[in-house]
Amino acid sequence: AQSVSQHNHHVILSEAASLELGCNYSYGGTVNLFWYVQYPGQHLQLLLKYFSGDPLVKGIKGFEAEFIKSKFSFNLRKPSVQWSDTAEYFCAVNAQGNTPLVFGKGTRLSVIA
Amino acid sequence: KAGVTQTPRYLIKTRGQQVTLSCSPISGHRSVSWYQQTPGQGLQFLFEYFSETQRNKGNFPGRFSGRQFSNSRSEMNVSTLELGDSALYLCASSYPGGDEQFFGPGTRLTVL
């Protein structure tokens, strides 16, 4: 069965600091990879996705993620965080072919001034 | 294009009761998936419907059931509610052949 691990439960950063959130998955086949964000009181929104091709994907709001197949990783990065990035971030994976999403437990990001 | 809508947004029930939650997918989307979100377990897949047929099912007891109508709207039902069923229930839809899911705002269920 697939599983997704997010290494950090809660990350606290100052504004303008760089961000990297870890995500590792276990699955032997071809996968799609996603990062979703849930702002306080709002619904899950897609930040970025990887289906195939260039392993460095860029998403909304300056976020990017790199798929490293050999490490089964899909880490999320942002060079300079803002207070408005305070949210919960979820990594998710599914096997290609309309299969259910498997989510990590999430990482809560708090950005302080 | 309107997003995924879920009704009701909030619900309070007591143990032993049953509840029905509703989800209207984005127009043109035919696949609807349901997830349960709790602080301890995170997001867990319940089931997925496509063209009125259950296509995938997660590891939840039979008290959790769902259905999909010909207009792609979906309902999920939980019978004999338990305290542990308190959660945010999320619905997501996707277009035919698509792997990206679009989420609704969720229904917050509290079981007392």
Tens of pLDDT along B28-85?
999 999 999 998 889 999 999 999 999 999 999 999 999 999 999 999 999 999 999 9
Asked if A94 has any chain B CB less than 8 Å from its own CB, the reply is yes
Is the per-residue pLDDT at B101 higher than 80? yes
pLDDT interval class at A36 (50, 70, 90): very high
pLDDT of residue A89: 97
Q: Would you say B81 and B26 are in contact if contact means Cβ atoms under 8 Å apart? A: no
**Interface probe with A: pick from B7, B31, B36, B43, most Cβ of A within 10 Å:** B43
Q: Counting one residue from A and one from B, how many pairs have CB atoms under 8 Å apart?
A: 52
- CB–CB of B45 and A94 under 8 A? no
In the stretch 3-42 of chain A, residues with CB closer than 8 A to chain B read 32, 34, 36, 42
Is the per-residue pLDDT at B96 higher than 90? no
Distance CA B13, CA A43 (A): 23
- CB–CB of A98 and B45 under 8 A? no
Distance CA B19, CA A18 (A): 44
Nearest-CA neighbor of B29 among B45, B51, B58, B54?
B51
**Interface probe with B: pick from A39, A43, A89, most Cβ of B within 10 Å:** A43
Residue range A24-49: average pLDDT? 92
Residues of A in contact with B50 (CB under 8 A): 98
Nearest CA in chain B to A31: B99
pLDDT tens across A55-110, in order?
Answer: 999 999 999 999 999 999 999 999 999 999 999 999 999 887 768 889 999 999 99
Left, alpha or beta for A98 (phi > 0: left; psi -120 to 50: alpha)?
left
pLDDT of residue B98: 73
Q: Identify the bridge partners of residue B94 per DSSP, sorted by sequence position.
A: B31
Q: Would you say B47 and B56 are in contact if contact means Cβ atoms under 8 Å apart? A: yes
pLDDT of residue B4: 96
